[in-house]
Structure 1
Amino acid sequence: RFHVIVTELFRGEGYQEGFHRGRRRGLQEGRRHGASHGAKLSTEISFYYGFAVTWRCLLRHHVDVRSRKRMKALEALLALIHNSPHDDPQSALLQEHTEKLRAKFRQVCSMLSVPTDFSDYTRTPAGTSF
């Protein structure tokens, strides 16, 4: 009888210790994953912002109809960036807004006749961190 009580006591303590260690490890891994995902999203949005500002500067003195349409699309892209809930990672709208932002970026690239795949230009060198 004593053996059963001691066994149950150790099993209970082992369970509690394992549960707490697992919870701590899960929180650490979750934070690490969130920081990594957040950094990637931040890099992407920053790239879109720099892209839009640069093209806006290049087109600001052009007054033809085509350039005005391009400027309007660039302004819409910048407005999406400024109104983005990217500073609130808990926002339920973050994923939807990011998809709209990517779609607007592709539209602007199409209007400007530039490729949408900038992955070769946006990769950070090995060893670089935020």
Structure 2
Amino acid sequence: MDYDLDEIVNLEQRFYDAGHKDGFAHGRIHGLIEGRALGREKGFELWEEIGYYEGTANFWKTVKQSSSNDRESRALVHANQLLHLISRFPRHNPTPSEEPLSDGESSQDSALDISKSLAQIRSRYRAMCASLGVKPRLLSTDKVEPDQSSSSIDAPDLAVKTTADPVWRVDQPAKKPPNIGSMSF
């Protein structure tokens, strides 16, 4: 009997290569599915935050437009600038072929910097809140941890943390006040 010694020696490597090829193809499919789901979730969170800033700026712009106070006119300028930054924020994720290139500009120069734009929007929002004397809220209410005190600000983006429910539910009955007669002071 003739045995091919090279085939016997490389048997383990052949099975390894076949398994790697199948696993890579399988992982690519699941990676695309998970990546799209994660992108959808993070995109929704991002636009929830941007929408909150836009709604706040529109509200304060409407309220303060008729005012002649210098402090309030400064808040109006911040609100207008915030709305301008939000209007320039990209509404879709362009592919590299969709990005326009001007003369002498590389594709890396024209790449959208989402984190830089978001940081500018957040800082303009904080400036608007400071000029109004309002505490900025940079976390959505479902992300606020209930076990921290309201005075602790330890997030890098100055998120205000609260211990109570920030909004009363309309679809549930109001909580009854405690019975004062049973308390002793």
Fold in common (TM above 0.5): yes
Larger Rg: 2
1:13-65 Cα deviation digits (max 9, x unpaired): 22211110111122222112211111110000000000000111111111222
Partner of 1:65: 70
Matching of residue 92 in structure 1 with residue 97 in structure 2: no
Matching of residue 52 in structure 1 with residue 57 in structure 2: yes
CA distance in 2, matches of 1:59, 1:34: 37
Matching of residue 18 in structure 1 with residue 18 in structure 2: no
- Higher helix residue share: 1
Against the structure 1 CA distance between its residues 119 and 11, is the aligned structure 2 distance closer, same or farther, given a 3 Å change threshold?
Answer: closer
Matching of residue 123 in structure 1 with residue 137 in structure 2: no
What is the percentage of aligned positions where both structures have the same residue?
A: 27
CA distance in 1, matches of 2:33, 2:75: 45
Q: Which amino acid aligns with 2:116?
A: E
Figure out how many residues of one structure are paired with residues of the other and give that number.
Answer: 123
* Higher RCO (CA < 8 A, seq sep 6+): 1
State the Cα RMSD in Å.
2.3
Against the structure 1 CA distance between its residues 116 and 105, is the aligned structure 2 distance closer, same or farther, given a 3 Å change threshold?
Answer: same
The structure 1 segments of at least 4 consecutive aligned residues displaced by more than 6 Å after TM superposition are none
Q: Which amino acid aligns with 1:95?
A: S
CA distance in 2, matches of 1:10, 1:21: 16
Q: Which amino acid aligns with 1:47?
A: Y
Deviation of 1:96 after TM superposition, in Å, equals: 0.5
Structure 2, unaligned runs of 5 or more: 96-110, 144-185
SS class of match (2:54): helix
Structure 1, unaligned runs of 5 or more: 125-130
CA distance in 1, matches of 2:44, 2:80: 25
Against the structure 1 CA distance between its residues 89 and 55, is the aligned structure 2 distance closer, same or farther, given a 3 Å change threshold?
Answer: farther
SS class of match (2:61): helix
